[in-house]
Amino acid sequence: MKVELGIIKEILKGCDKDCLVSDSTNHFYGLWRVKHLSVMPKAGRLPMFFYGFIVSGEIEIEVDLKPYTFRPGNILRLRPGQVMQVKNVSEDFCCSLFFFDKRVVGEMISGIQVPLVTTSPLLPTSEALRNSLSVYLSIIFEKMEMMRKDNSPYLGKIVEQVVKAMLCEIFFEISKGREDKTIQTNR
């Protein structure tokens, strides 16, 4: 599967990152630990979903020409087709950025209602969700480091299962709000 990576490359230009990118099993997703992010000279249309968990610092972005500021504990949620531009980034900014195409939801998290972003791309999180995300991300990055030394299919499956759990936890938090649209996964 070929994905247009222009805006992804722009978002991540000059970033320090640990990276996992998978396009096996017919879905495309990636996870980056972003420690530096550049201001974008122009806006771009997103080709897939982006979820960013802000660890430290803050970032100011425009989404569909509306300004937003994200701070630690916030989750940035963007959907395909939205137009985004990074306007300002603090020196101490750090986030974990997860991107995926819509097939990830259908294939990885089958048979459940998935809430879509219909209002603000800003999701404030509970302390419980922040703690859970920290654990999930710690496990994922630990297994990614192990995969650099031993590319075992078992390690890849561990990462995939932890990513599934992390997405379900985020979708559960979103579903507690008043999102008015969902997509039903069919598998």
Helix then strand count (H, E) for the chain reads: 4, 12
Query: What digits encode the pLDDT tens for the residues 162-172?
Result: 888 888 888 88
Structural contact between residues 84 and 119, judged by C-beta atoms closer than 8 angstroms = no
Taking residues 122-133, report their average pLDDT: 88
DSSP codes joined into one string, 10-31? HHHTT----EEEE-GGG--EEE
Q: Could you count the other beta carbons within 10 Å of the beta carbon of residue 117? A: 18
pLDDT score of 22: 58
Q: Which pLDDT belongs to residue 175?
A: 77
7-16, 51-60, 93-102 — which one is most confidently predicted on average?
Answer: 51-60
Q: Are 177 and 124 in contact (CB under 8 A)?
A: no
Residue among 71, 114, 112 nearest 94 (CA): 71
* pLDDT for 64: 93
Please list the alpha-helical segments (H only) found in the chain. 6-12, 102-108, 127-149, 153-175
Band of the pLDDT at 178, cuts 50, 70, 90? very low
Q: Is the pLDDT of residue 42 over 80?
A: yes
Q: In which band, very low, low, confident or very high, does the pLDDT at 180 lie, cut at 50, 70 and 90?
A: very low
Distance CA 170, CA 54 (A): 14
pLDDT tens for each residue of 52-72: 899 899 999 999 999 999 999
Residue, of 26 and 86, whose pLDDT is higher: 86
Mean pLDDT of the chain: 77
For residues 175-186, give the mean pLDDT. Answer: 47
Mean pLDDT value of segment 29-52:
82
